[in-house]
Amino acid sequence: MVTSSVLKDIPFFHSFTLKEIDTLMKDPSLVEKHPRGKYIIVQGSEQTQDLFILIKGEVEITDAMHHHITYLATGSIFGEISFITHQPRLTNVVALDDVMVVRIDKKSVDKVDLKLQLKIKDSLIETLIARLADMNKRIVEKNESNLVLVKALRTMGHDIALD
């Protein structure tokens, strides 16, 4: 059984009180177990637009051709884009081992008070900002390493143009 004190340790729930977590988790079916190899989300699917919070295990995110994008571990969230935009899923999410998730659907969120809805929104925003900052950092690092490579090739006599 997943308790509110266990969920409180998950970054998504850090700003929540134990009572707020209990309120959100009234429905025990929101906690799901998925076996290794199961696709939790299939790209292009419109079956659900739920948000998932990974509370145990690891998942892999892949594109339409099943090429690796990233791994997510305990504490991560996924499915947030469809949850917010109501658009079909953009990636696949497959369980790499036996995983446990909290599945948050729009109906559950709509049933809680406005203060708790705002905490959910704020937690999503914080997560998205952290991901954006990480992506920006990776782009800068990649650009810097590309610049070093171009400079090295130029010193070796290669005519390389920067775009």
What is d(CA 37, CA 98) in angstroms, rounded to the nearest whole number?
Answer: 8
Instruction: Give the tens place of pLDDT for each residue, 73-104.
Output: 999 999 998 998 888 898 999 999 999 999 99
Q: Alpha-carbon distance 134 to 138, whole Å?
A: 6
The answer to whether 52 and 35 have CB atoms below 8 angstroms apart is no
Region 114-143 average pLDDT: 90
Q: For residue 105, give the 3-state DSSP assignment.
A: coil
Name the pTM for this structure: 0.82
Residue 36, domain extent: 4-155
Distance of alpha carbon 140 from alpha carbon 105, whole angstroms = 35
Q: Is pLDDT above 90 for 142?
A: no
Domain of residue 74, CATH code: 2.60.120.10
Tell me the average pLDDT across 41-55. Answer: 89
To 5 degrees, how large is the angle CA 41–CA 42–CA 44?
A: 125
Do the beta carbons of residue 103 and residue 52 sit within 8 Å? Answer: yes
Other Cβ atoms less than 10 A from the Cβ of 7: the count is: 20
Evaluate whether residue 127 is within a structural domain.
Answer: yes
129 or 149, which is more confident: 129
Q: Does residue 65 form part of some domain?
A: yes
Mean pLDDT, rounded, of the chain: 90
In this structure, what token pair is assigned to residue 6? Answer: 């266990």
E strand spans, the chain = 31-34, 39-41, 51-56, 58-62, 68-73, 77-78, 92-95, 99-104
Four-CA torsion 147, 150, 156, 161, nearest 10 degrees: -140
How high is the pLDDT of residue 46? Answer: 76
The answer to whether the beta carbons of residues 119 and 112 sit under 8 Å apart is no
Has residue 162 been placed in a domain?
no
Q: How many domains does the chain have?
A: 1
Q: pLDDT band at residue 163, thresholds of 50, 70 and 90? A: low
**Any domain includes 163:** no
The helix (run of H) or strand (run of E) holding residue 32 is: strand 31-34
